[in-house]
């Protein structure tokens, strides 16, 4: 007998220590049952809805990678046309591949049209569902199956795409970045985003035990390290102005974060590893400086 009162039910097939399951749980906890969720293909969709089962205790629809935001727009428009929009929240929850790479055109269109919905990107920094291929969210120097580190390469050559800034450029009234390691912060931001009228965007950093290569018990710890090293700045941007920044009390060196994961392990053995770590530290310092963390 299932005893939980959570809207995201147990029994789903997420890995032990899954970040997406945590993200889904926090989002539903924050928004409540009066919401409609759209999820494109990805880890979250695959493990939460193995046919004929569903872990979602709210209305939920599966879309393609590329039309998540379009499906959410359609739901919003339909509810409005039927006069049933009331205070029903519409939430699209995509992974980094679905958001940053494949779905960005549909997402851009939906934000341009100004539909009243919230898009949440759960960013675990690669295509984890299909076996850790590089995405636009993969950070600099991380090894993935399509950017393997070896004699000819140190891993991913390009820096992570700054998706929140892209969404901000659409004139969104609310753009926020958060992490599953800070549940209260995340729940507050997701709730606020759904309450604001217009297209709002929340980008959630989510450490993936399988793809990043760390023990399942460290999911939240790794998320916290990303924030404490300033590699993942958490902030709120309302109508174009930064209105809230998560201040770091004890800033930690990036080595601590990198050392804990297999995808950065090569940086500690290859000849020019120290130089690459220095570059990653520069990225963190730039964040700290830019956003006054």
Partner 1 sequence: MSSKLCIGGIVEPGSTVINKTGSWRTFKPIYHHEKCIKCGICELSCPESCIIKTEDGYYEIDYDYCKGCGICSNECPRETIEMVLEEK
Binding residues (CB under 8 A) for partner 1: these are 1-4, 6, 8-19, 21-22, 25, 48-58, 60, 183, 209, 215-221
Of 18 and 72, which has the nearer Cβ to partner 1? 18
Q: Return the beta strands (E) in the chain as ranges.
A: 35-40, 60-63, 89-95, 118-123, 174-179, 200-205, 235-238, 241-245
Q: Which is nearer to partner 1, 166 or 220 (CB)?
A: 220
d(CA 258, CA 261): 6
Whichever of 29 and 192 has its CB closer to partner 1, that residue is 29
Least distance between partner 1 and beta carbon 180 (Å): 9
Which one, of 114, 106, 111, 103, lies nearest residue 137 by Cα? Answer: 103
For residues 217 and 76, what is the distance between their CA atoms, to the nearest angstrom?
Answer: 38
Beta-carbon contacts of 122 under 8 Å, excluding residues fewer than 6 positions away, are 19, 20, 23, 44, 93, 94, 95, 96, 204, 206
Comparison of 11 and 83: residue with beta carbon closer to partner 1: 11
The least distance separating partner 1 from the CB of residue 51, rounded to whole angstroms, comes to 5
Pair of tokens at residue 228: 């404490």
**Of 223 and 273, which has the nearer Cβ to partner 1?**
223
Q: How far is the CB of 181 from partner 1 (least distance, A)?
A: 9
Cite the beta strand spans of 235-289 per DSSP E: 235-238, 241-245
Complex with partner 1: residue 7 or 104, whichever CB lies closer:
7
CB of 60 to partner 1, least distance (A): 8
Max distance between CA atoms of the chain, in angstroms, equals 64
Least Å from the CB of residue 172 to partner 1: 28
Sequence-separated (6 or more) residues with CB below 8 Å from residue 220: 22, 180, 181
Collapse the DSSP code of 204 into the 3-class scheme (helix H, G, I; strand E, B; otherwise coil) and give the result. Answer: strand
Q: Residue 27 CB, nearest distance to partner 1 (Å)? A: 13
Q: CB burial class (10 A; 0-12, 13-18, 19+) of residue 209?
A: buried
Residue 12 Cβ vs partner 1, minimum distance, rounded to whole Å? 5
Residue with Cβ nearer partner 1 (174 or 214):
214
């Amino acid at each position: 007998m299932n005893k939980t009162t959570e809207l995201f039910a147990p029994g789903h097939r997420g890995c032990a220590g899954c970040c997406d399951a945590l993200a889904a749980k926090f989002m539903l906890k924050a928004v409540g049952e009066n919401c409609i969720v759209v999820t494109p293909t990805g880890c979250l969709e695959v493990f939460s809805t193995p046919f004929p089962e569903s872990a979602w205790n709210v209305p939920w629809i599966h879309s393609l990678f590329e039309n998540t935001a379009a499906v959410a727009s359609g739901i919003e428009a339909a509810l409005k046309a039927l006069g049933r929009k009331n205070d029903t929240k519409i939430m699209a929850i995509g992974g980094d591949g679905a958001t940053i790479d494949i779905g960005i055109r549909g997402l851009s269109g939906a934000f341009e049209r100004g539909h009243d919905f919230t898009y949440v990107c759960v960013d675990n920094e690669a295509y984890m569902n299909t076996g850790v291929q590089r995405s636009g969210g993969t950070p600099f120097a991380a090894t993935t199956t399509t950017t393997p580190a070896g004699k000819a390469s140190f891993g991913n050559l390009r820096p992570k795409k700054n998706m929140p800034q892209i969404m901000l450029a659409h004139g969104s009234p609310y753009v926020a970045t958060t992490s599953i390691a800070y549940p209260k912060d995340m729940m507050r931001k997701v709730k606020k985003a759904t309450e604001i009228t217009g297209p709002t965007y929340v980008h959630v950093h989510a450490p993936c035990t399988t793809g990043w290569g760390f023990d399942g018990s460290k999911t939240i710890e790794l998320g916290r390290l990303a924030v404490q090293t300033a590699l993942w700045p958490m902030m709120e941007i309302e109508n174009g102005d930064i209105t809230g920044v998560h201040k770091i009390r004890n800033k930690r060196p990036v080595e601590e974060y990198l050392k804990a994961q297999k995808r950065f392990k090569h940086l500690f053995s290859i000849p020019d590893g120290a130089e690459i770590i220095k570059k990653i530290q520069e990225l963190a310092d730039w964040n700290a400086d830019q956003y006054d963390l």
